[in-house]
Amino acid sequence: MKLSASLSQLIDALRCLPGIGPKSAQRIAFHLLERDRNGGSQLGRSLTKAMDKIGHCQSCRTFCEEAICDLCQNVKRIDSGLLCVVESPSDILAIEQTGQYVGRYFVLMGHLSPLDGIGPNEIGLDQLDNLLITSDVKEVILATNPTIEGETTAHFIAELCQKNQVEASRIAHGVPVGGELDLVDGMTLSHAFNGRKVV
């Protein structure tokens, strides 16, 4: 049986969702067409708009629709002199949910991975270097993931801080080794922040 062109295209396109195979894609397409056309249309519009409009903050690289994000413009955060380096924008969400941290962020959008061709410039370290020179940062909190790549990246950035005579600390206690930061509960994250150590 030949499915209609738009339906085939929709089923194919749904495969971009993480963990969705051909069978699930088909089930989702039929579900939306049979039971939630408004939801499907709304999702279509939201996806188109988000993929088109959401760029990156010119200062911290997080997802943002303007040139500079709200967090980077917040006077209290700027005055704190704290800059927390994370791998992904979702890490910011997790940290903000603890309500413990009032400072700025810098988002690497990944981690060092030389074998994949991801070097310092690919994760914005030239930009971070510049930020440390031009901006009044007193302490860089290294909150990359507690994985081998995350540790390597943290170590590399610590050296960058040393070069710029800025103190660097690494979040420490409570973060399970091998885990992903944005899956850690708020209490654990709070402990990790309070227990950070100079590196």
Residues 101-120 that bind its own copies (CB under 8 A): 109
Q: What is the dihedral of CA 167, 95, 172, 145, to 10 degrees?
A: -100
Residue 87 DSSP one-character state? S
**Binding to its own copies by residue 160, rule CB under 8 A?**
no
50 binds, options its own copies, Zn ion, none, Cβ within 5 to 8 A by partner type? its own copies
Nearer Cβ to Zn ion (14/57):
57
**Binding to its own copies by residue 22, rule CB under 8 A?**
no
Name the minimum Å distance from CB 35 to its own copies. Answer: 9
Nearer Cβ to its own copies (16/198):
16
* Number of shown-chain residues binding its own copies (CB under 8 A): 57
Cα–Cα dist 199/1, whole Å: 63
**Binding to its own copies by residue 54, rule CB under 8 A?**
yes
59 binds, options Zn ion, its own copies, none, Cβ within 5 to 8 A by partner type? Zn ion
Asked whether the beta carbons of 86 and 107 are under 8 A apart, the reply is yes
**Binding to Zn ion by residue 11, rule CB under 5 A?**
no
**Binding to its own copies by residue 49, rule CB under 8 A?**
yes
Asked whether the beta carbons of 61 and 124 are under 8 A apart, the reply is yes
Nearest residue to 142 via CA among 121, 120, 118, 170: 170
Name the minimum Å distance from CB 192 to its own copies. Answer: 18
Cα angle value 135/88/183 (rounded, 5°): 130
43 binds, options its own copies, Zn ion, none, Cβ within 5 to 8 A by partner type? its own copies
Question: What amino acid occupies position 198?
Answer: V
Cα–Cα dist 187/100, whole Å: 10
Name the minimum Å distance from CB 166 to its own copies. Answer: 24
Q: Which of 22, 58, 67, 70 binds its own copies (CB under 8 A)?
A: 70
Query: What are the tokens at 185?
Result: 């509960």
